[in-house]
Amino acid sequence: MLNGNSITRERIAAMEPRIRPFVRHTPVLRVDMADFGRPPLGVDLKLECLQHSGSFKARGAFTNLLERPVPEAGVVAASGGNHGAAVAYAAMRLGHKATIFVPEVSPPAKLERIRGYGAELVVGGARYAEALAASEDFAESSGALQIHAFNQEETLVGQGTLGLEIETDLPELDTLLVAVGGGGLIGGIAAWFAGRIRIIAVEPEGAPTLHRAFEAGRPVDAPTEGIAADSLAPKRVGEMMFPIAEAFVERSILVSDDEIIAAQAALWDRVRIISEPGGAAAFAALLSGRYAPAAGERVAVLVCGANANPAKF
C-alpha cells in the first residue's frame, strides 16, 4: 500500500469480476506507424474509447456504485463530461438516481450522453472546479452519494481493472502511454503494474497537472486550458494517485493542442477510430515524436475516450 491507500493489485483483481457483467473487454488494434508517416513500428492501440458511455470512466463508476451504499437520494458527480456520463450510465443500469454537474466548457456530445442516460444535468461554471464545488453543496443538502472523478479509492480501483485487462491482452508489453487529467486512470493502471512495465504520462501543454506535481513533489495547481480542457484539465492531480505516480510513472510528456488535433485526425483518417482530444493525447506523443521508442520496444497506447463528433476533425 502507498500513502495509506489500499489501491493494491489484490483489490483490483478482486474487483474485476464484480464489474465484468457491466463493462466491455475492449479490443486491441495493432497498427504500423509507417501508415501515419512515421518510421515503421508496430504499436498496439487499446481501444477503451469503445467502452460503455464512451470512455474508461465506466469502470470507476460501477466500482463506486457496487462497493458503496447508495442512499435514496441517489448519486451526484462533477465532471467535464466523461465521468458524468459514466456515473449516469452506471446509475441507470443499477436503478439509482443521478445528478451530474458539468462546467460550461463541456462539449454537446457529452451532455447529450448524460441526458440520454436519464440523469439530472446541471450546467454551470467555467471549469471543472466550479462544477465540483456545486456538486459538493448538492451532496451536503440532498444526502446524495458523491462520486469523485479521480480522488476516490473506488474510482482508482475501478480504473485499475483496465491495467489488468491490458496485461491480459498484451503480456509482452514494455511501455504504455496514458493520458492524464486528474490522474485516476494512470493511478489505477500504475497501481496494477506496480513498476513491471514503463508507464509514460501524456498531458496537454495547457493543463500540465502531473508534470507540475512531479516538479513540486506534490499535487499543485496548474493551468486549465487547451483543447482537452473538458477531460484533462482539473486544477491538480488527486492526492491519492500522486504517491502511486511518483513510484511507478516514469515521466510526463507534454503535447500541444495542434499535436492532439493531428492525432485525432490521423486516428480517424487512417483507422477510422473516433477519439476526443483527451482520448487522442497519448497517441499524439507517439505521432509527434515526443516519445521515441527504442529499437525492439513493445509499445501500447491507450485511446481512452470517444465522446466527440468526427465531422469536426
- 285 in the same domain as 188: yes
Note whether residue 131 is domain-resident. yes
Inform me whether the pLDDT recorded for 5 exceeds 90: no
- 139 in the same domain as 198: no
Pick from 87, 113, 143: which residue ends a domain?
A: 143
Inform me whether the pLDDT recorded for 55 exceeds 70: yes
At 70 the pLDDT is 96
Inform me whether the pLDDT recorded for 154 exceeds 80: yes
pLDDT in tens, 164-174: 999 999 999 99
Asked whether 300 and 166 are in contact (CB, 8 A), the reply is yes
Rounded to an integer, the average pLDDT of 128-146 is 93
At 232 the pLDDT is 58
The structural domain count of the chain equals 2
Residue 98: which of 110, 112, 82, 114 has the closest Cα?
Answer: 114
DSSP state string for 239-274: TTTHHHHHHH--EEEEE-HHHHHHHHHHHHHHH---
Note whether residue 1 is domain-resident. no
Inform me whether the pLDDT recorded for 264 exceeds 90: yes
Rounded to an integer, the average pLDDT of 210-217 is 95
- 86 in the same domain as 200: no
Note whether residue 268 is domain-resident. yes
- 225 in the same domain as 133: no
Residue 256, CB half-sphere, CA atoms under 13 Å: how many?
6
- 17 in the same domain as 86: no
Rounded to an integer, the average pLDDT of 225-249 is 83
Contacts of 90 (CB under 8 A, 6+ apart): 22, 58, 61, 62, 64, 65
Residue 59: which of 102, 88, 20 has the closest Cα?
Answer: 20
Q: How confident is the model at residue 230 (pLDDT cuts 50, 70, 90)?
A: low
Whole-number average pLDDT of the chain: 92
Inform me whether the pLDDT recorded for 3 exceeds 60: no
Inform me whether the pLDDT recorded for 297 exceeds 80: yes
- 50 in the same domain as 131: no
Separation of first and last alpha carbons in the chain = 42
At 4 the pLDDT is 45
Note whether residue 2 is domain-resident. no
DSSP state string for 150-184: SSSHHHHHHHHHHHHHHHHH-TT--EEEEE-SSSH
Q: How confident is the model at residue 126 (pLDDT cuts 50, 70, 90)?
A: confident
Note whether residue 256 is domain-resident. yes
- 108 in the same domain as 226: no
- 78 in the same domain as 181: no
Note whether residue 66 is domain-resident. no
Q: How confident is the model at residue 311 (pLDDT cuts 50, 70, 90)?
A: low
Q: How confident is the model at residue 228 (pLDDT cuts 50, 70, 90)?
A: low
Note whether residue 302 is domain-resident. yes
Out of 127-131, 135-139, 199-203, 244-248, which region has the weakest mean confidence (pLDDT)?
127-131
- 36 in the same domain as 127: no
Residue 278: which of 163, 211, 183 has the closest Cα?
Answer: 183
Q: How confident is the model at residue 234 (pLDDT cuts 50, 70, 90)?
A: confident
- 252 in the same domain as 109: no
Rounded to an integer, the average pLDDT of 34-53 is 96
Q: Which domain CATH number covers 42?
A: 3.40.50.1100
- 158 in the same domain as 255: yes
Inform me whether the pLDDT recorded for 81 exceeds 90: no
At 80 the pLDDT is 83
Tell me which of 110 and 263 has the higher pLDDT. Answer: 263
159 class by beta-carbon count within 10 Å (0-12 exposed, 13-18 middle, 19+ buried)? buried
DSSP state string for 53-78: GGBTHHHHHHHHHHHSPPPTT-EEEE
Inform me whether the pLDDT recorded for 112 exceeds 70: yes
Instruction: Give me the domain span that covers residue 98.
Output: 72-143
Pick from 118, 143, 168: which residue ends a domain?
A: 143
Note whether residue 201 is domain-resident. yes
The pTM score is: 0.93
Pick from 115, 143, 171: which residue ends a domain?
A: 143
